[in-house]
């Protein structure tokens, strides 16, 4: 009766309160508080009735208790209008049958028996008002969904956690003219017309999946279609969909998809498992793309590509992201995560897989350099600030904040270390065992590590520390050669700095790939892997004929900082002769870093700046070397702002920017003849467009030359850029010319800037317009902030489109340091205001923007105070979302 129900309610809330006291601190979710779900949802039947006014979702859940005991069934739900709920055909009443809160609904006393029962729930939402882009929302008039991590609860009441895996049957009904394309996960099992110009389609996904992999699309789209025959001879239909004006930009993604499918069979023995695979391109998306089972949804920026609109880097990104989402079918979907703390289980592994795929498709050395650049420029910074967390975090407030460089990129480095330690074959044995053991299951990082260990008979206990400890370790090396005994003694020691909540660290299991070189670059000792497992270890190498040069941490064999002081001469030698292309590049960067940081010190003490002759000579040697063009371009490029800033305390944005400009200008002047000759030699007027690595390298190197040459801003170079722009047949070249001109107000710049825009506007090329915005927002001038404000008033600006917002506002905050950090505080004030404003519409995008204040403690007192004031303002705002609150409050801790 009612009394019993009321007692159940009271008992339930007492239990929740108790649990939340014990398990959660300040609303945080803790990894240690994991408990298996009390109920499982075996099967889900969804019926979507889409109209212009609302979306009504009829859901039928087959629910089973995991314990004999039963007990209340809590379902997550957010921003839902509940229309009705019934259990085994009996309607439930609020108060007696269920209770409701802000974040969910509790079915008070489901039948306490092992048999499944049926819950029918009807809810309504307004996708047209869903500006968060999580759940079911509208983009350019079309319906689409985004459910990772916790968006499904914005579609219907559910156990929204990845360890609840179900089979799905979905029916969608919508206006046929407005939404001719209806899609959901799995195979289409029915379709038909309805009265009043409406139609429906039904889908079945035979594979059990967590609800974060659910997807639905109802849209007016056009597509391209192709076919892939799997290794066992099954034919799979492939479709890529976009708005009609972008249909000519889908071929590259299709090629990338087929390459990915073939590669995963070859490299990992993984075959695709459904009869159909869809990719849908959408304009409004919070992230890059999403691996929904059989129905990937992509941000247009990660799928569209054609010669006139996409740069070579864009092509590379599209290839990588298409592969990434495809590879998730096995690493993420077939084998999924038990809880969100295990995110790196699928993301680190899948990034590693897409990185190695890209390496195989292009050039391993170039790929490795690009990956390590991201690690050093961005992940190391994250790992040294207040948001530092292990690749497997211990707590969160908003899980969306943990889709980080640490979870993804450092996570991939951790996977790479298994490969380094176990070898190609051992690693494959490990992944085979992992798939064998866990197909169809929701598992943990420990399960992955156990599969690697068991398949190889290895003890990987210590390796767990890579999952528990945050911070970038430093490996210090000291070597000594004894000519009398012909021995070389190498001492390696490691330490990891404290990070928030982790004052002391234990030694990690670090693979250090080394080789001893002679003075001609030959081998005194073949390449080998040292396993550093203690705080300090000494390795002795015998029969070393002469004093060696050490090539250390080859290929960046571990995500660490190396402390190994070498003379300028040795670095120059390695930059020219190390046979590991990554280390060659690295040596060039270390030299550059040394020179630029010395110049920064000169500038701060108001001395005349001058590039050392030796550095110019090394630059010249690199330019003249016979080397792959991309590798040469990356070796010539100066270390970036972020890498330099990490070695400064406090960071001095003005000095850094001034020195980087000076160095580019100065190299451009002192190397003019050589750069011009190189530039000319790489000009090939009758080129047929190709993204073959050789052509990409040619354009890359040529544009690096252009950039140095233009850095003086003299009339001659401005004209050169203008000519480069007009002669360009690719977006790569056009954008390079625009970027090179951007810092120099001139007729040439005005002309290029306006042609660039008008052309993109005429062709309706949103992604090109984003580039146009980004170049301007990242260009320093004394009135940069005013210019950015003006850009947000531009006819093409749209504050509801994440890509557009990022291209202007995030670009200003992240890539225009001298303006953002202006001592007046105006840049901070502006971004603070933007964070709060955006937060009302889209907390995920706002919280990313808020990250720009994260490292406030690394600046001088004045800037610290100004940035802190913005963080306090944001944190204390009464209406702040938990996403943004988490970033602001943790930054302030």
Which partner from the list ligand 0A1, Zn ion, none does 146 bind, CB cut-off 5 to 8 Å by kind? ligand 0A1
**Measured from the CB of residue 647, what is the shortest distance to ligand 0A1 in angstroms?**
31
**Measured from the CB of residue 402, what is the shortest distance to Zn ion in angstroms?**
13
Give yes or no for residue 289 binding ligand 0A1 (CB under 6 A). Answer: yes
Which partner from the list Zn ion, ligand 0A1, none does 776 bind, CB cut-off 5 to 8 Å by kind? none
Angle at 151 between CA 148 and CA 157, to 5 degrees: 130
Cβ-based nearer residue to ligand 0A1, 9 or 287: 287
Residue 692's nearest CA partner among 369, 363, 261, 371 is 363
Do you know the residue count of the chain? Answer: 893
Which partner from the list Zn ion, ligand 0A1, none does 403 bind, CB cut-off 5 to 8 Å by kind? ligand 0A1
Asked if 63 and 142 count as a contact pair (C-beta separation under 8 A), the reply is no
In whole angstroms, give the CA distance from residue 774 to residue 739.
Answer: 10
Q: Which stretch binds ligand 0A1 (CB under 6 A): 2-10, 289-297, 434-442, 512-520?
A: 289-297
**Measured from the CB of residue 125, what is the shortest distance to ligand 0A1 in angstroms?**
17
Site for ligand 0A1 in 101-140 (CB under 6 A): none
Helix H, strand E, coil C: the string for 647-658 is: CCCCCCHHHHHH
E strand spans, 424-532: 442-443, 474-482, 487-495, 510-517, 523-532
Site for Zn ion in 333-392 (CB under 5 A): 347, 350
Residues near 569 by beta carbon (within 8 Å), at least 6 away in sequence: none
Give yes or no for residue 290 binding ligand 0A1 (CB under 6 A). Answer: yes
Cβ-based nearer residue to Zn ion, 296 or 666: 296
Q: What is residue 246's three-state secondary structure?
A: helix
φ, ψ for residue 857, nearest 5 deg? -70, -10
**Measured from the CB of residue 364, what is the shortest distance to ligand 0A1 in angstroms?**
23
Q: Which stretch binds ligand 0A1 (CB under 6 A): 282-290, 665-673, 691-699, 751-759?
A: 282-290
φ, ψ for residue 46, nearest 5 deg? -120, 135
Cβ-based nearer residue to ligand 0A1, 243 or 883: 883
Going by DSSP bridges, is the β-strand pair 187-194/198-210 parallel, antiparallel, or unpaired? antiparallel
Q: Which helix (H) or strand (E) holds 884?
A: helix 882-892
Omega of the bond prior to 149 within 30 degrees of 0, cis? yes
In whole angstroms, give the CA distance from residue 269 to residue 271.
Answer: 7
Give yes or no for residue 765 binding ligand 0A1 (CB under 6 A). Answer: no
**Measured from the CB of residue 296, what is the shortest distance to ligand 0A1 in angstroms?**
9
In whole angstroms, give the CA distance from residue 817 to residue 815.
Answer: 6
In whole angstroms, give the CA distance from residue 669 to residue 660.
Answer: 14
Asked if 41 and 166 count as a contact pair (C-beta separation under 8 A), the reply is yes
Of 109, 139, 146, 811, the one binding ligand 0A1 (CB under 6 A) is: 146
Give yes or no for residue 707 binding ligand 0A1 (CB under 6 A). Answer: no
In whole angstroms, give the CA distance from residue 444 to residue 31.
Answer: 11
**289, HSE (Cβ side, Cα atoms, 13 Å):** 28
Cβ-based nearer residue to ligand 0A1, 74 or 326: 326
Asked if 300 and 767 count as a contact pair (C-beta separation under 8 A), the reply is yes
In whole angstroms, give the CA distance from residue 653 to residue 862.
Answer: 13
Give yes or no for residue 287 binding ligand 0A1 (CB under 6 A). Answer: yes
Cβ-based nearer residue to ligand 0A1, 320 or 507: 320
Site for ligand 0A1 in 468-487 (CB under 6 A): none
Angle 882-892/861-875 helices, nearest 10 degrees? Answer: 150
Angle at 696 between CA 690 and CA 698, to 5 degrees: 110
Q: Which stretch binds ligand 0A1 (CB under 6 A): 180-188, 281-289, 805-813, 823-831?
A: 281-289
Site for ligand 0A1 in 346-385 (CB under 6 A): 347
Residues near Zn ion (CB under 5 A), total: 2
Give yes or no for residue 596 binding ligand 0A1 (CB under 6 A). Answer: no
Cβ-based nearer residue to Zn ion, 407 or 532: 407
Give yes or no for residue 663 binding ligand 0A1 (CB under 6 A). Answer: no
Cβ-based nearer residue to ligand 0A1, 291 or 822: 291
E strand spans, 755-889: none
Cβ-based nearer residue to Zn ion, 56 or 374: 374
**And the tokens for 749?**
């710049």
**And the tokens for 782?**
């004394």
Q: Which residues are catalytic?
A: 325
DSSP state of 66: S
Cβ-based nearer residue to ligand 0A1, 370 or 733: 370
Asked if 142 and 219 count as a contact pair (C-beta separation under 8 A), the reply is yes
Cβ-based nearer residue to Zn ion, 163 or 347: 347
**705, HSE (Cβ side, Cα atoms, 13 Å):** 28
Site for Zn ion in 550-609 (CB under 5 A): none
**And the tokens for 153?**
């609860």
Of 291, 822, 855, 886, the one binding ligand 0A1 (CB under 6 A) is: 291
Q: What is residue 757's three-state secondary structure?
A: helix
- Per-residue contact flags (x/-) with Zn ion for residues 298 to 337, judged by CB under 5 A: ----------------------------------------
Burial of 140 (0-12, 13-18, 19+ CB in 10 A): middle
In whole angstroms, give the CA distance from residue 82 to residue 97.
Answer: 14
Give yes or no for residue 148 binding ligand 0A1 (CB under 6 A). Answer: yes
Which partner from the list ligand 0A1, Zn ion, none does 370 bind, CB cut-off 5 to 8 Å by kind? none
Site for ligand 0A1 in 309-348 (CB under 6 A): 324-325, 347
In whole angstroms, give the CA distance from residue 11 to residue 291.
Answer: 40
Q: Which residue is nearest to ligand 0A1 (CB)?
A: 287
Cβ-based nearer residue to ligand 0A1, 414 or 571: 414
**Measured from the CB of residue 449, what is the shortest distance to Zn ion in angstroms?**
19
**Measured from the CB of residue 264, what is the shortest distance to Zn ion in angstroms?**
14
Which partner from the list ligand 0A1, Zn ion, none does 286 bind, CB cut-off 5 to 8 Å by kind? ligand 0A1
Q: Which stretch binds ligand 0A1 (CB under 6 A): 202-210, 288-296, 523-531, 853-861?
A: 288-296
Give yes or no for residue 883 binding ligand 0A1 (CB under 6 A). Answer: no
Residues near ligand 0A1 (CB under 6 A), total: 14
Of 38, 97, 180, 288, the one binding ligand 0A1 (CB under 6 A) is: 288
Q: What is residue 853's three-state secondary structure?
A: helix
Which partner from the list Zn ion, ligand 0A1, none does 615 bind, CB cut-off 5 to 8 Å by kind? none
E strand spans, 557-638: 561-563
CB atoms within 10 A of CB 850: 31
Asked if 818 and 108 count as a contact pair (C-beta separation under 8 A), the reply is no
- Per-residue contact flags (x/-) with ligand 0A1 for residues 394 to 413, judged by CB under 6 A: ---------x----------
In whole angstroms, give the CA distance from residue 621 to residue 448.
Answer: 46
Which partner from the list Zn ion, ligand 0A1, none does 287 bind, CB cut-off 5 to 8 Å by kind? ligand 0A1
Cβ-based nearer residue to ligand 0A1, 312 or 325: 325
CA dihedral 132, 135, 137, 143 (to 10 degrees): 150
Cβ-based nearer residue to ligand 0A1, 378 or 873: 378
**Measured from the CB of residue 735, what is the shortest distance to ligand 0A1 in angstroms?**
25
Interacting residue ranges for ligand 0A1, rule: CB under 6 A: 146, 148-149, 286-291, 324-325, 347, 403, 844
For Zn ion, the binding residues (CB under 5 A) are 347, 350
């Amino acid at each position: 009766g009612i009394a019993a129900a009321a007692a159940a309610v009271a008992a339930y809330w007492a239990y929740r309160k108790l649990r939340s006291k014990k398990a959660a601190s300040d609303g945080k979710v803790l990894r240690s508080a994991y408990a298996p779900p009390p109920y499982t949802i075996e099967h889900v039947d969804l019926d979507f009735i889409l109209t212009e006014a609302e979306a009504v979702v009829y859901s039928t859940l087959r629910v089973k208790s995991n314990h004999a005991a039963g007990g209340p069934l809590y379902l997550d739900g957010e921003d839902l209008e509940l229309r009705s709920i019934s259990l085994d055909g009996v309607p439930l009443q609020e108060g007696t049958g269920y209770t409701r809160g802000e974040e969910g609904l509790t079915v008070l006393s489901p039948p306490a028996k092992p048999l499944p029962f049926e819950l029918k729930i009807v809810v309504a939402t307004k996708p047209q008002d869903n500006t968060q882009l999580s759940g079911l929302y509208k983009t350019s008039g079309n319906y689409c969904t985004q459910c990772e991590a916790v968006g499904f609860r914005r579609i219907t009441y559910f156990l929204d956690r990845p360890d609840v895996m179900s089979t799905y049957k979905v029916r969608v009904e919508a206006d046929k003219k407005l939404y001719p394309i209806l899609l959901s996960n799995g195979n289409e099992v029915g379709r038909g017309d309805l009265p009043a110009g409406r139609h429906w389609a039904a889908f079945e996904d035979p594979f059990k999946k967590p609800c974060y992999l659910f997807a639905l699309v109802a849209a007016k789209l056009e597509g391209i279609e192709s076919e892939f025959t799997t290794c066992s001879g099954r034919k799979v239909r492939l479709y890529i969909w976009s708005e009609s004006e972008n249909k000519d930009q889908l071929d590259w993604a299709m090629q990338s998809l087929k390459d990915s499918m073939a590669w995963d069979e070859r490299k990992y023995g993984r075959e695709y498992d459904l009869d159909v695979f869809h990719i849908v391109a959408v304009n409004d998306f919070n992230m890059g793309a999403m691996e929904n089972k059989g129905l990937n949804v992509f941000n247009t920026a990660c799928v569209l590509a054609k010669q006139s609109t996409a740069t070579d880097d864009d092509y590379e990104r599209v290839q990588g992201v298409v592969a990434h989402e495809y590879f998730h079918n096995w690493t993420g979907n077939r084998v999924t995560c038990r809880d969100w703390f295990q995110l790196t289980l699928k993301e680190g592994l899948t990034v590693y897989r897409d990185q190695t795929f890209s390496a195989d498709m292009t050039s391993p050395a170039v790929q490795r350099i690009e990956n390590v650049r991201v690690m050093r420029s961005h992940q190391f910074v994250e790992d040294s600030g207040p948001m530092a967390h292990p690749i497997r975090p211990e707590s969160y407030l908003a899980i969306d904040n943990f889709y980080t460089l640490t979870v993804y990129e450092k996570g991939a480095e951790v996977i790479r270390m298994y490969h380094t330690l176990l070898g190609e074959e051992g690693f494959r044995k490990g992944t085979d065992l992992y798939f064998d053991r866990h197909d169809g299951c929701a598992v943990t990082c420990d399960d992955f590590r156990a599969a690697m260990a068991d398949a190889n008979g290895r003890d990987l206990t210590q390796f767990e520390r890579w999952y528990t400890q945050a911070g970038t370790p430093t490996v210090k090396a000291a070597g000594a050669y004894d000519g009398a005994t012909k021995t070389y003694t190498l001492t390696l020691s490691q330490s990891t700095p404290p990070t928030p909540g982790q004052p002391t660290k234990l030694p990690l299991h670090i693979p250090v790939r080394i080789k001893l070189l002679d003075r001609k670059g030959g081998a005194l000792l073949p390449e080998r892997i040292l396993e550093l497992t203690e705080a300090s270890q000494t390795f002795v190498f015998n029969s070393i004929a002469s004093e060696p040069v050490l090539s250390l941490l080859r290929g960046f064999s571990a995500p660490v900082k190396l402390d190994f002081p070498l003379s300028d001469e040795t670095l120059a030698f390695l930059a020219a002769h190390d046979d590991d292309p990554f280390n060659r590049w690295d040596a060039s960067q270390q030299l550059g870093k040394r020179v630029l940081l010395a110049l920064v010190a000169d500038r701060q003490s108001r001395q005349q700046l001058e590039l050392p002759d030796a550095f110019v000579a090394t630059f010249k040697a690199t330019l003249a070397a016979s080397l792959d063009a991309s590798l040469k371009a990356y070796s010539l490029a100066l270390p970036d702002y972020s890498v330099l800033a990490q070695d400064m305390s406090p960071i001095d944005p003005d000095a850094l920017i001034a020195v980087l400009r000076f160095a580019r200008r100065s190299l451009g002047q002192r190397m003019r003849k050589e750069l011009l000759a190189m530039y000319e030699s790489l000009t090939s007027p009758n080129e047929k467009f190709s993204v073959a690595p050789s052509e990409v390298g040619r354009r890359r190197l040529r544009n690096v030359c252009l950039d140095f040459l233009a850095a003086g801003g003299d009339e001659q170079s401005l004209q050169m850029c203008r000519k480069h722009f007009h002669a360009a047949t690719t977006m790569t070249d056009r954008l390079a010319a625009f970027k090179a001109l951007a810092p120099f107000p001139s007729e040439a710049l005005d002309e290029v800037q306006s042609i660039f825009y008008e052309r993109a506007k005429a062709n309706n090329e949103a992604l090109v317009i984003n580039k146009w915005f980004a170049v301007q927002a990242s260009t320093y001038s004394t009135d940069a902030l005013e210019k950015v404000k003006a850009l947000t008033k531009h006819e093409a600006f749209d504050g509801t489109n994440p890509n557009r917002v990022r291209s202007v506002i995030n670009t200003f905050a992240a890539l225009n340091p001298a303006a953002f950090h202006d001592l007046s505080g105006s840049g901070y004030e502006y971004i603070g205001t933007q964070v709060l404003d955006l937060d009302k519409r889209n907390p995920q995008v706002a919280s990313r923007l808020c990250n720009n204040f994260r490292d406030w403690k690394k600046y001088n007192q004045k800037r610290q105070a100004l940035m802190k004031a913005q963080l306090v303002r944001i944190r204390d705002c009464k209406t702040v979302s938990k996403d943004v609150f988490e970033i602001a409050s943790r930054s302030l801790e």
